[in-house]
């Protein structure tokens, strides 16, 4: 179901969805491909279009990926979050964010579709110019996919925790991802329970905006 949101509404209400993912409603391949066709309109460095998109629906493979994610999330959570000052709006949300992240870790295997967007190139220890160029050739497309998904009543969340502690290599072996291909994350894709997402609380412009110099 398309929501017919304005561009501003899509941009301001596309959230990282975890607790409101509908695990029981199938996501048709055709809808995924609609989102992907729009994502491929995103800019890409030198028009290289070096992206690759891997979608996983097989229960056994989803469970294996979820296990990699859950093991790494346990380590990540034990590390603790960023220290935020009292009154910082991010501190007020931190408990809810951690709680929803734990929920996703516990239920990741239940999502109808997992997406792993990839970019051709090995970003390990490359010069900053090369890294920025390659990331700049996949990140806009992934965000466009997430925006298109929101318009179609789908929820997503950008996660990277499965890449920790050798998890990227484990996922590559599981899914046959060849050497020289970098995974950009692991995304749940599901219809949402309700579609009434609101703009998030963000820092004001003043402390994070710089004109002419820092």
Domain range enclosing 12: 7-193
Total structural domains in the chain? Answer: 1
pTM of the model: 0.92
Nearest to 197 by CA among 163, 164, 160, 151: 151
pLDDT tens across 120-129, in order?
988 877 888 8
pLDDT tens across 190-207, in order?
999 999 999 988 889 998
pLDDT of 157 above 60: yes
The answer to the question of residue 128 being in a domain is yes
Report the relative pairing of strands 51-56 and 181-183 from DSSP bridges. Answer: unpaired
The answer to the question of residue 145 being in a domain is yes
CATH number at residue 140: 3.40.109.10
Band (pLDDT 50/70/90 cuts) for residue 26 is: very high
């Amino acid at each position: 179901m398309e929501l017919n949101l304005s561009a501003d509404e899509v941009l301001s209400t596309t959230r990282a969805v975890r607790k409101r993912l509908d695990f029981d409603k199938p996501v048709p391949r055709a809808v995924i491909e609609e989102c992907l066709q729009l994502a491929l309109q995103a800019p890409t460095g030198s028009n290289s279009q070096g992206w690759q998109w891997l979608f996983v629906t097989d229960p056994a493979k989803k469970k294996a990926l979820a296990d990699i994610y859950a093991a790494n999330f346990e380590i990540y959570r034990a590390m603790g979050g960023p220290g935020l000052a009292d009154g910082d709006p991010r501190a007020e949300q931190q408990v809810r964010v951690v709680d929803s992240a734990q929920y996703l870790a516990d239920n990741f295997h239940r999502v109808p579709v997992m997406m792993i967007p990839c970019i051709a190139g090995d970003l390990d220890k490359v010069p900053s110019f090369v890294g920025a160029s390659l990331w700049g050739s996949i990140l806009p497309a992934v965000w466009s996919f997430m925006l298109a998904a929101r318009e179609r009543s789908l929820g997503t969340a950008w996660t990277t925790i499965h890449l920790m502690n050798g998890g990227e290599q484990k996922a590559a072996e599981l899914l046959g991802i060849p050497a020289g291909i970098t995974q950009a994350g692991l995304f749940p894709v599901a219809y949402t329970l309700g579609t009434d997402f609101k703009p998030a609380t963000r820092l004001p412009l003043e402390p994070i905006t710089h004109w002419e110099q820092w």
